[in-house]
Structure 1
Amino acid sequence: MKYSFKILLFLLVTNFIYSQKTLTAKVVGIKDGDTVVVLDSLNNQITLRLAEVDCPEKSQPFGTKAKQFTSDQIYLKTIKYVVTDTDRYGRSIAMIYYDVDNKYLSAEIIKAGMGWHYKRYSKSKELALFEDNAKKNKIGLWIDNNPIEPSEWRKQ
């Protein structure tokens, strides 16, 4: 019985992992630090909102730098992405991977201090550690003594 349960559990986990389809597209636009536009294989433009990270708004301190960071990482590159959800604006929320070593863009943004780990939608301990490290070392937006999260900035 235990053996059958383990096999069933393995099959369910494997099915879940592979049910999230990895797609490929070329990045043709950077709207801001956490929103990009890609061109898929059928030449459709798709707006992707990055999963697990929230970057400063354009008018916010470090907003322009966050956008430039994202651009420097992926603009005009072919990326891989996995759609995890859709936001209230109809954008696909996606985990984006790039370069030959499959860097995870949201992690790179957080490490560079160009965005917050979006704890409301992510429980990643690794991303939380990256944010803590950026804060501790005053990297990027953490050079400011009191950086304001984008969700609070939008309320002002």
Structure 2
Amino acid sequence: MLGVARRIARDQASAEDIVHDAFVRIWTRAASFDPSRGSARGWVYSITRHLALNCVRDSRWEAGLDEIGSIEAVTVPAQLDDLQLWSGSAKIYRCLEQLQPAPQRCILHAYVDGCSNAEIATLLGAPLGTVKAWIKRSLKALRECMA
């Protein structure tokens, strides 16, 4: 959990606060967990990820895809808290590289930068419907590539 929070927040102290908040939310909302909708692990990581993204948005901090430049510049951290989380990282990078540039940027803005579809449309200067279609098709292509 700390690895996910640190990767999104890019700050150890913020990541620790996010994990603390995640544990509190997990504890208070444990009754809302529905095993038929997915694993507990996925639910826990989803809560952590959403809290981290909210923290980044609230602080008006942006990782900025422009700072990354391209998918080749994205690196895996040296210290991994959850090795299983990163076990498929090389494969996902290969799959991402197979996407066209604009859809690839949509996916990275959405899942790395935490941007909304409307924000992505503004960043790329593309219609909102096009961005939604690119993301939908890209996620399908990534699922097929990862299978």
Fold match (TM-score > 0.5): no
Q: TM-score, structure 2 length as denominator?
A: 0.28
Of Structure 1 and Structure 2, which has the larger fraction of its residues in helix? 2
Write 1 or 2 for the structure with the bigger share of strand.
1
